[in-house]
């Protein structure tokens, strides 16, 4: 009996083993079949779609589809190039406003020299001018929010002040000893891309362009014609730190200076046939001699203009090697007000140089400007690394090199020769800016009435700002210096003080740049060549 029982158990074990083995084999086959059914081809994005669909149907927790979608887009575009980007609705709106030539707000320009915002400029015709805000007013509150003396972030301050046209905001300011609330109805505020335009000396005009916005060509064209009426024969066109903007404005501006048939730039990409842009010969500034100033922060549209002038031998380019941003972005918009700026082509100068610098290493690209300082490129032309194998020639046969950016005809290093200990300490504490604000308080009536450079020259001579600053720096910030240190610093410091104080007059940024130019070694070099 016992023997039969053992035999039965053995038979059952064998049968059970066979069944389990069959089930395992069937499971493996089905798994393999199922795995085989999920195509993992990359060429039609199927794997990405399958993963997202798998997550939606199987993930353990509730999904944030908006966040996942945005993250997936950002990650995918990051694998392309540094300038193909996804812009959520808020960022897209801010980006468009920056270049559109206007935005909604109250129409003031301010800085924050000492934890309190000070109005530098009230835009003519804007909402703030209409209610009576003035340069020198200290901003205390926006509606009920205190923003003075509390280390309030400047970007948060701007967001509170700006808002849709037609909405109201109450700005409380301190003017002298008075505290005054102003109820302001926000409106459309024009944004100017020309920072300054004036005559440097007889026959020589200076024009500084901050960005290429929708209004850039008209602004530059009108400013240049005004300078011509004042006798300008040679223009110093300052594009330093201009990060670019709309390409069509660079084309229009280049056209003003170039002769019929001159190539301005050409574009080419995998899905974009070569497009060549040429001048029509009807520009208004064909007879104006030209010097273009660039720096390591001059990019994109700035480089299109500088490259066109250099390759056509139309003028001299002075400064330091430009940024090297030569990728063409085309915008694509979505119904939720977000968008993608996708690189579709590259810019090439008339001689065939690709403006774009290499971006094979994301880290090296992101830190390129920092590396230029670390490697000494901005201090010495001998430290500039040019691709001497990528040779091109200008119209007259001069050799120029590709590899990224525009190398100027005349290199000008950053000037550090005047950086005395006293000057560095003052810069660290923004002593000059706070001094300028104090001088406006002291000379409010005089500065507010000055509208021409002759009157400003007279005021600055009588104010003796250098002597006042030395005493003020010691009393306010505890910064003092020896007579020898002061003597060596003053020639470099005084133009800066004059510029910062003169900016509070009706002359605005024109005064700032005009009085700062004597210590601008790039402008000095440009003037030497005339």
Q: Which two tokens stand for residue 372?
A: 């230029």
Task: Reply yes or no on whether 311 is catalytic.
Answer: yes
325 labelled catalytic: yes
Nearest to 115 by CA among 169, 154, 151: 151
CA atoms of 460 and 211, how far apart (whole Å): 31
Helices (H), 348-400: 362-366, 368-374
How many Cβ atoms from other residues are within 10 Å of residue 122's Cβ? 23
| HEC-encoded secondary structure of 454-483 | HHHHHHHHHHCHHHHHHHHHHHHHCCCCCH
**Residue in 262, 311, 409, 509 annotated catalytic:** 311
- Per-residue tokens: 220: 């530059």
Q: Rounded CA gap, 183 and 172, in Å? A: 9
Looking at the DSSP assignment, which residues form a beta bridge with residue 340? Answer: 86, 332
Name 304's bridge partners. Answer: none
Residue 109's DSSP bridge partners are 121
Tokens of 147: 């923003």
Q: How many CA atoms lie within 13 A of 85 on its CB side?
A: 10
- Tokens representing 395 are 């119209």
Residues near 483 by Cβ (< 8 Å), separated by ≥ 6? none
Among candidate residues 196, 265, 261, 263, the one with its CA nearest the CA of residue 235: 196
Q: What is the Cα–Cα distance from 253 to 213, expressed in whole angstroms?
A: 12
Write down the H helix ranges in 290-366.
301-311, 362-366
Q: Nearest to residue 461, comparing CAs of 431, 497, 430?
A: 497
Active-site residue, from 211, 325, 357, 514:
325
Is the torsion defined by CA of 42, 273, 357, 92 positive or negative? negative
Rounded to whole angstroms, the Cα distance separating 185 from 109 reads 17
* CA pair distance 25, 21, nearest whole angstrom: 6
| Of 70, 28, 41, 78, the residue nearest 50 (C-alpha) | 41
CA 36/CA 462 separation, integer angstroms: 88
Determine whether 39 is an active site residue: no
Determine the Cα–Cα distance for residues 228 and 222; give it in Å rounded to an integer. 10
Active site residues: 300, 311, 325
């Amino acid at each position: 009996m016992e023997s039969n029982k053992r035999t039965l158990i053995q038979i059952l074990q064998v049968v059970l083993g066979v069944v389990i083995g069959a089930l395992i084999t069937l499971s493996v086959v089905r798994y393999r079949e199922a795995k085989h059914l999920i195509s993992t081809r990359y060429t039609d994005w199927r794997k990405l779609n399958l993963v997202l669909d798998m997550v939606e149907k199987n993930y353990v927790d509730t999904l944030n589809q908006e966040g996942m979608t945005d993250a997936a887009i950002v990650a995918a575009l990051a694998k392309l190039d540094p300038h193909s980007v996804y812009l959520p609705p808020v960022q897209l709106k801010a980006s468009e406003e920056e270049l559109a030539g206007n935005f909604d707000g109250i129409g003031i320009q301010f800085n924050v020299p000492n934890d309190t915002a000070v109005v530098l400029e009230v835009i003519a015709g804007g909402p703030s001018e209409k209610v009576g805000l003035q340069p020198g007013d200290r901003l205390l509150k926006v509606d009920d929010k205190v923003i003075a003396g509390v280390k309030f972030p400047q970007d948060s301050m701007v967001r509170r002040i700006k808002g849709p046209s037609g909405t109201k905001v109450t700005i409380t300011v301190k003017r002298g000893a008075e505290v005054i609330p102003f109820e302001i109805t926000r409106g459309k505020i024009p944004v100017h891309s020309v920072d300054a335009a004036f005559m440097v000396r007889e026959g020589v005009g200076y024009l500084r362009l901050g960005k290429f916005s929708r209004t850039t060509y008209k602004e530059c064209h009108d400013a240049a014609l005004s300078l011509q009426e004042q006798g300008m024969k040679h223009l110093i066109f300052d594009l330093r730190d201009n990060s670019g903007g709309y390409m069509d404005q660079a084309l229009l501006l280049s056209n003003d200076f170039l002769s019929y048939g001159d190539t301005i730039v050409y574009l080419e990409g995998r899905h974009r046939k070569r497009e060549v842009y040429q001048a029509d010969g009807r520009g208004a500034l064909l007879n104006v001699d030209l010097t273009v100033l660039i720096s390591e922060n001059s990019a994109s549209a700035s480089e299109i203009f500088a490259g066109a002038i250099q390759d056509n031998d139309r003028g001299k380019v002075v400064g330091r090697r430009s940024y090297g941003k030569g990728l063409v972005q085309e915008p694509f918009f979505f119904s939720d007000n977000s968008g993608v700026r996708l690189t579709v082509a590259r810019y090439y100068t008339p001689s065939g140089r690709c403006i774009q610098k290499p971006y094979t290493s994301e880290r090296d690209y992101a830190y390129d400007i920092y590396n230029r300082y670390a490697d000494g490129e901005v201090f010495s032309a001998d430290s500039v690394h040019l691709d001497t194998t990528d040779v091109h020639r200008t119209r007259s046969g001069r050799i120029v090199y590709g590899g990224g950016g525009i190398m100027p005809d005349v290199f000008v290093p950053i000037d550090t020769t005047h950086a005395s200990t006293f000057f560095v300490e003052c810069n660290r504490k923004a002593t000059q800016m706070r001094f300028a604000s104090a001088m406006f308080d002291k000379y409010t009536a005089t500065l507010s009435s000055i509208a021409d450079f002759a009157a400003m020259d007279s005021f600055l001579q009588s104010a003796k700002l250098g002597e006042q600053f030395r005493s003020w720096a010691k009393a306010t910030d505890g910064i003092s210096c020896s007579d020898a240190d002061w003597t060596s610093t003053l020639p470099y410091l005084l133009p800066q003080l004059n510029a910062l104080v003169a900016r509070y007059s009706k002359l605005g940024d024109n005064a700032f740049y005009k009085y700062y130019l004597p210590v601008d070694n790039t402008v000095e070099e440009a003037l030497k060549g005339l």
